[in-house]
Amino acid sequence: MSWEQNLIEDEAGVERVVKSARRVAVLGIKTEQQSGQPAYYVPDYLARAGVEVVPVPVYYPDVTHILGKPVFRRLTDVPGELDLVDVFRRPQDIDGHVDELIAKNPRAVWFQSGIRNDAAAEKLAKAGIQVVQDRCLMVDHRRYGGR
């Protein structure tokens, strides 16, 4: 299988990623104080839909829990396996997380709506990780996985 197949751009591939996402780390999650922002309400929706959400905020050093779950400061600190890492970071900031994403080795990485970083996506795909770019996980979860 060539690494290009890990760059998921077809609807069937997106549906497979969504349906297999039972445990999702949210990189760049916001806190309840930012509840109007997608980086909070998307993971809140996922948690309410029965997905196990693991908060990995980039900011908010004093916060210990988001959505009632303990936060982790690095993906590599999260115990156990991850089906998906949902990324809420500016495209240029993703490069700083690529090595950590590869080290954690989730089944897939999801760059939220408006987020594309083709170089990072290629590195992740070559490491055997499926990548979805520039899509909203909440919208696709409602379409394929959820309620």
The structural domains of the chain, with segments of one domain joined by +, span: 3-145
- Mention every residue, 6+ apart, whose C-beta is less than 8 A from residue 99: none
pLDDT in tens, 15-73: 999 999 999 999 999 999 999 999 999 999 999 999 999 999 999 999 999 999 999 99
pLDDT in tens, 96-142: 999 999 999 999 999 999 999 999 999 999 999 999 999 999 999 99
DSSP state at residue 135: -
Cα separation, 147 vs 142, whole angstroms: 6
Q: Which helix (H) or strand (E) holds 84?
A: strand 84-87
Joined together, the tokens standing for residue 4 give 């290009």
Q: Domain 3-145 is in which class?
A: alpha beta
